Amino acid sequence: MSVSQLFDAAPAAEAEAPLSLTIRRPDDWHVHLRDGAMLKAVLPFTAAQFARGIIMPNLVPPVTTIAAAAAYRERILAARPEGCDFTPLMTCYLTDTTVPDEIERGYREGVWAAAKLYPAGATTNAHHGVTNIPKLAPVLERMEKIGMPVLVHGEATDPAVDIFDREAVFMEQEMLPLLKRHPGLKVVIEHVTTAETVAIVRAHAGRAAGTITPHHLIINRTTLFQGGLRPHLYCLPVAKRESHRLALCEAVTSGDTCFFIGTDTAPHLRGAKQAECCSAGVFGGATALQTYVQVFDEAGALDRFEAFASENGARFYGLPLNEGTITLERKPSRALAAVEVEDSEVVIFRGAENLPWSIGEVRP
């Protein structure tokens, strides 16, 4: 299937007053592409919307070495649709045994753009992650020295902590002390889900930033149970109360430069989602920009969308802005319900739903 066939436009008669918005091509600063058949199936959706993506390293086994990162990058490039210019930006999976010299060499050689810090056991394939963050100090000090960002999955892993409180507990017990110990370290707090974390990002703006997903902008914890348990909306961090969702919407539309796109698009096969023990992850790569721009439109903040989507992240990472453009059109569209992966499929977030915005022309 070609990229142009990924979306099925709704009938023109349903369209609202014509409006289009052309912005600099955006980037996705948090992407799970997986590997093998899954990679080939899901990559075209992200590449249809974004020029670059920060690629998460939690494969099996995780991407912990320069050689593994370079090889994974080549597999991603080989999986791109014909004519596609999507650029993967690789990351290193931090462990208790990560060596500072390897981190610095990989960063200086341009193999990876950042390193990902998963508290051990926090999410999908995070059991190889960091068990004691203060003991990672030599690695973080080296990253601080060379200007390499650390990307943090901010959730406590103590099973005694309520799942809805795990982000707040991690911020208090781990993130704030980390920011204090390493005042020059560039930190991205990934997939922010609470008003309190929004405030922490703002308080440390300049050296800290936050990514916010499209699904956390439109679902809350009640949504997970509307009409019954909805496993395809289950992710980590889990969606929170409506007050937190509203705080996220305010943050992204505020114009604050410390927030930018990170879809956390995370595909799992239907069988892994509709299972006795459901896998965590929402596959939103196909409907990300349509969802983000809808939030900005409803907030009357379309004039701030380009900065959030296309500028803030690149500037935080110290990368040049993209040269091309993408046009978003206020006319109904409908994404596929699911994408086939071998003999199974991955359900698409908001798939088969009439969306008020569509993806228009992309100019490299």
Q: For residue 52, what are the β-bridge partners?
A: 27, 87
Stated as kind and residue range, the H or E segment containing 46 is helix 36-49
- Please tell me the distance from the alpha carbon of residue 53 to that of residue 42, in angstroms, as a whole number: 13
- Please tell me the distance from the alpha carbon of residue 83 to that of residue 197, in angstroms, as a whole number: 40
- Please tell me the distance from the alpha carbon of residue 39 to that of residue 60, in angstroms, as a whole number: 13
In the three-class reduction of DSSP (H, G, I as helix; E, B as strand; rest coil), residue 37 is classed as: helix
What does the radius of gyration of the chain's CA atoms come to, in whole angstroms?
19
- Please tell me the distance from the alpha carbon of residue 162 to that of residue 294, in angstroms, as a whole number: 32
- For the stretch 101-106, contacts whose Cβ atoms lie closer than 8 Å and that sit 24 or more positions apart, written own/partner, are 101/142, 102/65, 102/66, 103/139, 103/142, 103/143, 103/148, 104/142, 104/146, 104/148, 105/66, 106/66, 106/69
* Positive/negative CA dihedral, 263, 322, 359, 327: positive
| Residue 135 near residue 96 (C-beta atoms within 8 A) | yes
| Residue 345 near residue 339 (C-beta atoms within 8 A) | yes
Provide the CATH topology of domain 28-324: TIM Barrel (3.20.20)
pLDDT at residue number 17 = 52
Nearest to 305 by CA among 20, 14, 3: 20
pLDDT at residue number 125 = 86
Structure-token pair, residue 325: 């453009």
- Please tell me the distance from the alpha carbon of residue 350 to that of residue 337, in angstroms, as a whole number: 8
- Domain residue extents for the chain: 28-324
Nearest to 232 by CA among 217, 219, 251: 219
Q: For residue 265, what are the β-bridge partners?
A: 31, 282
Catalytic residue IDs: 264
Flag whether 32 is marked binding. Answer: yes
Flag whether 264 is marked binding. Answer: yes
Residue with token string 């990559």: 43
- Please tell me the distance from the alpha carbon of residue 176 to that of residue 118, in angstroms, as a whole number: 16
Q: Is 223 exposed, middle or buried (0-12, 13-18, 19+ CB in 10 A)?
A: middle
* Positive/negative CA dihedral, 136, 137, 142, 148: positive
pTM of the model: 0.94
Flag whether 58 is marked binding. Answer: yes
pLDDT per residue rounded down to tens, the chain (364 residues): 443 444 444 444 444 454 899 999 999 999 999 999 999 999 999 999 999 999 999 999 999 999 999 999 999 999 999 999 999 999 999 999 999 999 999 999 999 999 999 999 999 888 999 999 999 999 999 999 999 999 999 999 999 999 999 999 999 999 999 999 999 999 999 999 999 999 999 999 999 999 999 999 999 999 999 999 999 999 999 999 999 999 999 999 999 999 999 999 999 999 999 999 999 999 999 999 999 999 999 999 999 999 999 999 999 999 999 999 999 999 999 999 999 999 999 999 999 999 999 999 999 9
